[in-house]
Structures are given as structure tokens and as C-alpha cells.
Amino acid sequence: MAKKIIILVLVVCFSITVLAAPTPSGMPLKLPLRKRGMSAEEHRKEVEKAIEQHKQQEADRSKEYMDLMVRQAWKRLLRVTDQQFKLIEQKREKAHDLYIQKRVGAAGCGGNDEQSFHWNRWSKGTGGVRAKAPDEMTEGKKIADELIDLLENENSKEKEIRLKIDALQRAREKAKKELPKAKQELAAVLTTPRQEAVFLIMGYID
């Protein structure tokens, strides 16, 4: 619990640092004009499509900018060059992904009552989690999404659910076994006491 609290506090600190920086201005939304011969319904669909595409583009731009700001915050904290950080970041991401995967489940849940309750999927994202493409998802996240599909399908068979439960538990166990090695690999590329202290206090290394 203490480790999770420390990680949360440092993530918040990073977020404050990033949010304090000026954000890039958004791209203007250009709505399609109604073409000759196009029905009102067809035009409405074109407008809705353009709005959704614009939202996705803005979300992608925002993520790219946030990722850049977080990387800069990491480099300042660790006092490393771009080349040094690239090596450290590869090891850090591996350890982080395994830490998440060893207890992976739904991306969250929503709803204010029994009728509106729903599980959030990694592939669709939520207000706080960006939707992920299949090649961005770990094995555990894919299985978790598939298990949610079964839970929300009234026609799912108990055997199907059991098989998916077993698959998710295997993915968690696999990540749990691989995590110690990933931590050691991260520790091996750290070159200063400061770097070691940062990752130690954040729970990335033992």
C-alpha cells in the first residue's frame, strides 16, 4: 500500500509539473459543407464523423504533448542526456507494464446506479485512459477486455467465462514471475545514486 501511495504522489507531482507548462493551441474544427444532392441526414452523419475525427486528433495531439512533457520531467529528475534516458526509459516501461499486468483487470468502471453501471475497456478508453490499439495492449489487457465482453453478454456460457478467468490468471502469474528480472535490468542501467534513489522511492526497484 505504501509503495502504491508513493507512486501516486510522484505521478501527481509529474502531472502538476506538466500541467503548469503552456499547452499547444488546438486545431480549428472544419465542418464539411452540405454538397449538392446530399440529404440532411447524410450531411448530419458527415458532420458527426468530422467532429469525432477532430476529437480523436485532438486527443492524440494532447497525448503526444503530455508524453513529451513527462519525458522532460523525467530527464530533469534523473539528470540524464537524451541518449541515457532512452535506455533507462525502455527498462522502466518494461517494469511498469509488468507491474500493471500482474494485477490487470478492467480499465475502470462507470455509472451512478445499477442500471447505468458498466465496465471500462482498455480498447475503448475512458475519461482518464486513452483508447488503445490492439498492438498497444498487453496480453493481460486484451484478455481483461474479452472477459468484460463475456460478462456483459447474457448469452455467455459459464465454461467460456471460466476459460477466460484461467487465461487472465495465467497472464498475471506470468507477469509476476517476470517482474523481478525487469527490476534488475532497470537497476543495472542506472549510473548514479540519484537515479537509483528515484526509482527506489518510486517502487520500481528493490
Q: Look at residue 134 and tell me if it is in a domain.
A: no
Range of the domain at 45: 1-23+40-78
Partners of 152 in beta bridges: none
Q: Look at residue 44 and tell me if it is in a domain.
A: yes
Q: Look at residue 6 and tell me if it is in a domain.
A: yes
Could you tell me the pLDDT band of residue 128, with boundaries at 50, 70 and 90?
Answer: low
How many domains does the chain divide into?
1
Please state, in angstroms and rounded to a whole number, the distance separating the CA atoms of residues 104 and 51: 33
pLDDT value of position 54:
83
pLDDT value of position 24:
57
pLDDT in tens, 5-47: 344 445 545 544 444 445 555 667 888 888 888 898 988 999 8
Please state, in angstroms and rounded to a whole number, the distance separating the CA atoms of residues 138 and 92: 16
pLDDT value of position 36:
87
Q: Look at residue 66 and tell me if it is in a domain.
A: yes
pLDDT value of position 141:
92
Q: Look at residue 198 and tell me if it is in a domain.
A: no
pLDDT in tens, 57-101: 887 788 788 888 988 999 999 999 989 999 999 999 999 999 999
Please state, in angstroms and rounded to a whole number, the distance separating the CA atoms of residues 119 and 160: 18
Q: Look at residue 52 and tell me if it is in a domain.
A: yes
Q: Provide the CA 131 distance to its chain's centre, in angstroms.
A: 8
Q: Look at residue 105 and tell me if it is in a domain.
A: no
pTM of the model: 0.67
Please state, in angstroms and rounded to a whole number, the distance separating the CA atoms of residues 198 and 61: 29
pLDDT over 90 for what percent of the chain?
Answer: 49
Q: Look at residue 94 and tell me if it is in a domain.
A: no
CB 116 within 8 A of CB 98: no
